[in-house]
């Protein structure tokens, strides 16, 4: 073995040791070679409309993210990282409350700043121990980097049929991060594991978003519908959204790999009270109250109007008549998007009080889309 390779192996071991010290759960190394194969697949899916609703996710972005050396001059390696967010407990609604579910990754503090800060600390620590400057660029699903393809190539895990990266140790409950660096590191080997014949995630998806193994139709995914989508929830999707108000974990919950996943060892993801959201409280929130309540949380991505829209859909699916007064009040909401979904929810209740409120509302409503929603709710065809 050459001296250069021995030095390389030592540096690689140091990288992994430092990453674990800083709280990362899995670490893999890959080259800075282009990811043209994954980029080709991604572009094909873009052209087939499977990424509809994400105007910022363009072919140019995909191509840029597939060439790491264009993202960092002098790039030689990529350090792929994963940090678990799996904590004990489930999204159980407190007794007496009418609540909506939140995806696990948003239960605690917003991960973007946490993971990126840890990656910066990792580079600083490496510079101290190597005693020279390390060029680096960081990504936490906030840039063009094809993060799951990097994770797969770095040996962190394998692509699941639900399109998540699965790991033997922590399942798919991982935040992924990448550090493009000028360090010359020996790459890890690809994982040889796979989902085998298992397809449990595909029929479990209530909206049918997993249209084929490893293929997701973004426009049908509950995570997209509740977060990225800023318009109305399609009528045909509303009942399938169940009581999710921010994201969805169903395809991960049914995955056998996740049954033995290790819990997060980082206390920062154990804090926060967002396993469920009180839907009545959410409907009544002002912008100031929303900002204060969700400060530092990923839930802010959906905006107050988006979460209130989602709350209406969840209430329509829960069908608890205790929510009728709040929904009737929401028919006077200043935003037409929320009013229209409140009308749909009242239409799901099927009681006389809801019907009377809808009839009164349509006589005063001047927004054509909201009027259509009220008419559909009154007709009982939704």
Q: Considering the domain boundaries, does residue 237 fall inside one? A: no
pLDDT in tens, 4-23: 333 467 899 999 999 999 99
Q: Considering the domain boundaries, does residue 7 fall inside one? A: yes
Kindly report which listed range (18-27, 105-114, 215-224) carries the lowest average pLDDT score. Answer: 105-114
pLDDT > 90? residue 96: no
C-alpha–C-alpha distance, residues 78 and 68, integer Å: 8
C-alpha–C-alpha distance, residues 229 and 53, integer Å: 7
Region 331-359: mean pLDDT is 97
pLDDT band, very low/low/confident/very high, at 183 (cuts 50, 70, 90): very high
pLDDT > 70? residue 300: yes
206 class by beta-carbon count within 10 Å (0-12 exposed, 13-18 middle, 19+ buried): middle
Position 4 scores a pLDDT of 38
Q: Considering the domain boundaries, does residue 303 fall inside one? A: no
Q: Considering the domain boundaries, does residue 346 fall inside one? A: no
Task: Name the β-bridge partners of 81.
Answer: 27, 177
Position 94 scores a pLDDT of 60
Task: Give kind and range of the element (H or E) at residue 229.
Answer: none
pLDDT > 70? residue 299: yes
pLDDT > 60? residue 77: yes
Domain that holds residue 253: 1-87+109-229+247-269
pLDDT in tens, 134-177: 999 999 988 899 999 999 999 999 999 999 999 999 999 999 99
Q: Considering the domain boundaries, does residue 82 fall inside one? A: yes
Position 90 scores a pLDDT of 62
List strand residue ranges (DSSP E) for 96-236, in order.
Answer: 99-102, 136-139, 158-159, 165-166, 174-181, 210-212, 215-216
pLDDT > 70? residue 47: yes
Q: Considering the domain boundaries, does residue 199 fall inside one? A: yes
Task: Name the β-bridge partners of 178.
Answer: 80, 139
Sequence-distant (6+) residues with CB within 8 A of 353 are 324, 328
Instruction: Decide: 51 and 45 in contact? Cβ < 8 Å.
Output: yes
pTM score: 0.92
Position 381 scores a pLDDT of 75
Residues, the chain: 382
pLDDT > 80? residue 91: no
Token digits of residue 379:
């007709």
Region 35-62: mean pLDDT is 94
Instruction: Decide: 353 and 324 in contact? Cβ < 8 Å.
Output: yes
Q: Considering the domain boundaries, does residue 302 fall inside one? A: no
pLDDT > 60? residue 3: no
Kindly report which listed range (3-12, 306-315, 342-351) carries the lowest average pLDDT score. Answer: 3-12
pLDDT > 60? residue 362: yes
pLDDT band, very low/low/confident/very high, at 261 (cuts 50, 70, 90): very high
Q: How many domains does the chain have?
A: 1
Q: Considering the domain boundaries, does residue 151 fall inside one? A: yes
Report the candidate in 212, 70, 91 with the shortest Cα–Cα distance to residue 144: 70
The catalytic site residues sit at 141
Helices (H), the chain: 3-21, 36-47, 59-65, 68-71, 111-130, 147-153, 201-204, 222-223, 235-238, 250-253, 279-284, 287-293, 303-318, 324-330, 336-349, 352-362, 368-379
pLDDT band, very low/low/confident/very high, at 120 (cuts 50, 70, 90): very high
């Amino acid at each position: 073995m050459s001296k250069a390779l021995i030095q390389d192996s030592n540096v690689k071991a140091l990288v992994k040791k430092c990453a674990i010290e800083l709280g990362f759960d899995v670490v893999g190394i890959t080259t800075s070679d282009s990811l043209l194969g994954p980029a080709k697949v991604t572009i094909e899916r873009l052209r087939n409309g499977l990424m509809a609703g994400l105007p910022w996710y363009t072919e140019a972005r995909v191509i840029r993210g597939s060439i790491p050396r264009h993202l960092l001059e002098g790039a030689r390696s990529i350090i792929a990282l994963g940090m678990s967010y799996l904590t004990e407990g489930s999204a159980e609604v407190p007794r007496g409350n009418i609540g909506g579910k939140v995806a696990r990754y948003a239960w605690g503090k917003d991960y973007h700043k946490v993971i990126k800060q840890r990656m910066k600390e990792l580079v600083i620590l490496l510079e101290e121990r190597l005693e020279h400057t390390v060029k680096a660029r960081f990504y936490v699903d906030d840039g063009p980097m094809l993060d799951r393809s990097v994770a797969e190539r770095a040996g962190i895990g394998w692509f699941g049929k639900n399109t998540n990266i699965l790991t033997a140790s922590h399942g798919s409950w991982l935040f992924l991060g990448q550090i493009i660096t000028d360090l010359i590191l020996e790459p890890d080997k690809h994982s040889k594991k796979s989902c085998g014949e298992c397809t449990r995630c595909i029929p479990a998806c209530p909206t049918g978003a997993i249209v084929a193994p490893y293929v997701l139709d973004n426009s049908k995914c509950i995570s997209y519908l509740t977060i990225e989508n800023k318009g109305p929830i399609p009528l045909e999707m509303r009942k399938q959204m169940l009581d999710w108000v921010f994201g969805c974990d169903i395809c991960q919950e049914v995955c056998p790999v996740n049954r033995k996943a290790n819990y997060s060892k980082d206390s920062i993801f154990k804090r926060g009270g967002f396993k469920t959201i009180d839907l009545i409280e959410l409907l009544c929130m002002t912008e100031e109250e929303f900002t204060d309540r969700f400060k530092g949380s990923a839930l802010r991505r959906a905006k107050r109007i988006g979460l209130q829209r989602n709350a209406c859909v969840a209430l329509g699916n829960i069908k608890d008549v205790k929510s009728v007064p709040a929904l009737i009040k929401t028919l006077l909401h200043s935003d037409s998007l929320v009013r229209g979904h409140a009308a749909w929810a009242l239409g799901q209740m099927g009681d006389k009080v809801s019907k009377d409120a809808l009839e009164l509302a349509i006589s005063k409503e001047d927004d054509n889309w909201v009027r259509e929603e009220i008419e559909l709710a009154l007709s009982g065809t939704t």
